[in-house]
Structure 1
Amino acid sequence: MARTLPWRMIAAAGVLGLLLAAAPRLAGDDANVWLAVTALRTSAVAFALGAAFLLDDPARHTTAAVPTRRAVRHGLRLALLAPVAAGYWTGALLLVPGPLRPPAGAVTVEAAAVLALALTGSAFALHRGDGVRPGQAVAGFLLASAVLAPLLTPGSWALFVAPGDPRWAAGHDRWALLLCAVLAAGAVCATEPVRRYRLRGTGLRSPSGTSDPSRA
C-alpha cells in the first residue's frame, strides 16, 4: 500500500509549501501579520494540491474485486498520510516567526478544511466515476478555488481576515462548520456506490440490462 502512494507528488508539494511558509522569515523587517497568515494559507493549499493525488489508483478496477471495502482502502491511505501532514504543518507553523504567527488552532482549522476538501474531492470523483486518477482534476479545481474564493466570498463571512480583526473568531466558526461538512461528505463518498436497478415490466433490471431471476 505505502509503495503505491504518490510520495513524490506529496513531497514536491510539501517542499513548495514550506518555502511559502518561510516567506515572512525571509522578508525580515518587512514582514507583518498579514503576510504571515497569507503565507500559511498558501502553504496549506500547496500541501493539499499534492494530497489531492492520494487516492489515485491505476489498479482501481483490479482492487475493486478485492473483498476489502473501499472505506478501508481509503482509510489505510489516509492513515499513512496523517503523520506526514501533521509533521508538515508543524514545520510550517514553526517557520513563521513567533511574534507574527497567527493563533495555531484557528489557522490549523483552515488548513484541515483545505486538506479535507482536496481528499473529499478525490473520493467524490472515484465514487461517481470510473476514472483511476482523479488527482489532477481535483488539484486544478482546488487551485482555482483558492484563487477565486478570496475574491468571490462575501466579506461578511470573514473567512480570510487577519488576526486582530474583530471578525476573526466568527470567521473560524465558519471554517469549523465547513470542515465538519466536508468530512461528512467525504465519509459518504468513501462508501461503495449503491447498485441501481430500474423497474421494467414486472421484473427488476440492472444497468447492464439483465433481469433478476424469475420466481416460480
Structure 2
Amino acid sequence: MTSHRNPAHSLNWHPDWSSGGDLTLLSSDEIAFSVPSRPILAVSPALRPGAGGLLPLPLSLRLVLYFLDLALYGQLDFLGPSDNYLTDVLSLAGWLDSLGATSLINLLLVSGRAQRWPLAVEFLLGARLRRTDLCREALNRFNDDGRWRDTVWQPPGTVSDFATLCPRALPLDLWSSVDRRFMWAWVVADVPDTPPSFGLGDKFLEIYQTP
C-alpha cells in the first residue's frame, strides 16, 4: 500500500449503497463509514455524532462535505488508477437535484465550510443547477483573489479544449473565463507526479452535463 502523509485522510473506497453500510466509532474523535468488503473510511471529528456543527445534516451530505474539503486541501491521494474518488464523492450527492440553489447554499453556510471553499462550491452548484448567475458570481470572486493553488498540475491545451468535454453544461463564454487550475483542483486534488487524463475529467463532468 502506498504511504500517505496522513493515512486517515486517504481514500480507497467506492460507495456501494446497495450492500448496506455501517458507522463505527473508532475513537473519541473519529468515526468510520464502511461497507461490506470495503476498506474503512475515517471521518474527521467535525462529522462525529454529537460533535455539533454538521450533526443536523444528513449523513450523505456530511460525507460529501468532508470529501470535498479534503479534495480542495490536497489531503486525498489515489491508491490506484481505478480510484476515481471524486466521482465516488459526487455519487453520494443524489440530493442535489431535489434541492434548490438557495437551500443548498444555506446548508453549506450552516455547516461552516462554505467560508473555507465558497468559490468551488458555488461554481459547481451553479453548474449543476444551470444557474449561470451563481457560476459567474463565484468566478468573479475567484478572479479577484487572483490565484488558486500553485501546486496543482495544469493540463495541456486551453480552457476551451477542456470545455469540449462538457458541451451541454455551460455556455462556452463562461468556460472561457474559468481558471484551469480551479477546475482541475477538483479532478486531481493532490496526486504528485501523476498528470490526470482527460478520461478522469470526463468522469467528473458526466454528473454536471446530465440534464
TM-score normalized with structure 2 length: 0.28
Larger Rg: 1
Structure number having the greater helix percentage: 1
Q: Identify the structure with bigger relative contact order (alpha carbons < 8 Å, sequence gap 6+).
A: 1
